[in-house]
Amino acid sequence: MRCVDLYNQSQSKWFEEIVTTSLELEKLEVERVEMIRQHLCQYTTLRHETDMFNQSELERKSIQLGKRQ
């Protein structure tokens, strides 16, 4: 009977560790996804601002070239 008790304790401990580790991994994954989301938002904002600036510069240059002709 002692072997069965040891086995059951061991199995219980293993299950507890699996649950704890799974929860920790889930938390880390949520943090990772949030970090990626924030970086993508920042990138798209900066990209949009850059595109708007480039567009306004292109329009300004086009107007200047049009006045010269």
User: pLDDT tens across 2-24, in order?
Assistant: 999 999 999 999 999 999 999 99
Across the range 35-45, mean pLDDT stands at: 99
Residue 66: predicted pLDDT: 83
Per-residue pLDDT at 69: 64
Distance CA 53, CA 41 (A): 18
Residue 67's pLDDT is 78
Percentage of the chain beyond pLDDT 70 is 99
> Looking at residue 63, what is its pLDDT?
87
Residue carrying the six token digits 């580790």: 21
- Give pTM, 2 decimals: 0.68
